[in-house]
Amino acid sequence: MSKPIYFVGGGKGGVGKSLVAIALTDYLVHRAGETVLVLETDTSNPDVAPCFEDDPGVRVELADLDRDEGWMRFANLCERHPDAAVVVNTAARNHEGVAEHGYILDAALAELGRELVVLWVINAERDGLQLLTAFMEAMPGRPVHVLRNLKHGVEASFDLYNGSRLREIVEAAGGTSANVPKLAADVAKGLFSDRLSVAAALRAMPIGNRAALTGWRQRCAITFERVVRRGDVAEPV
């Protein structure tokens, strides 16, 4: 079987999808030893792809998933690079494109021989849960892993999700509920403003920032071990 497709969604902007996509790509390349294809779907304002343009383990491509041509390009790239894990950084309101055009990928998955792994990033508000419900209706039968972004509060503050019927449905279908650790604001700002991958930032940032980033990287790896189920965590390279 070819490598998985990791679809990082969340529906609305500001929940932390892009940071999760950066962390996941770093994990796959530097801990799991994978070659990764990053598919940037916010073609007007890409913020993940530029961070990896100089990373030898990462190939970056653009595809507009608001259009059927973008979904066809998505599937074609997956076929063209069977040995690369695919990380999809979705744009805001991605559920609309999924509802209208997602059948193209759904129909191609069996032939591609790829597993679709959905990571859905949420804040503590109701909107993200409503968008998750819409996504699951558009892509039925696909397990979804819900990631509470602790930038928006401690785990207990996600009470709208924690005690919900939606969580029961997610976990009964094979999904997990996990946390994304909070990254210090100055470090996160540096990643995006300077267009740095985690590995590049660990070479470029001052020691205090590097220490904060290293701790965050390690905690993200624990989360991804639960979600991606890749076995033991190796030392980062």
The answer to the question of residue 83 being in a domain is yes
Query: pLDDT tens-digit profile of 156-213?
Result: 999 999 999 999 999 999 999 999 999 999 999 999 999 999 999 999 999 999 999 9
Instruction: List the CATH number of the domain containing 55.
Output: 3.40.50.300
The answer to the question of residue 233 being in a domain is no
Would you give the DSSP letter of residue 10? -
Query: pLDDT tens-digit profile of 113-137?
Result: 999 999 999 999 988 898 899 888 8
The answer to the question of residue 236 being in a domain is no
Are the CB atoms for 86 and 79 separated by under 8 Å?
no
What is the per-residue pLDDT for 92? 72
Domain count across the chain? 1
Query: pLDDT tens-digit profile of 46-101?
Result: 999 999 988 889 999 999 988 899 999 999 999 999 999 999 999 876 667 787 88
Are the CB atoms for 97 and 139 separated by under 8 Å?
no
Would you give the DSSP letter of residue 4? P
Could you tell me the pTM of the whole model?
Answer: 0.93
What is the per-residue pLDDT for 110? 87
Side-chain-side CA neighbours of 37 within 13 Å: the count stands at 23
Range of the domain at 158: 5-228
What is the per-residue pLDDT for 45? 84
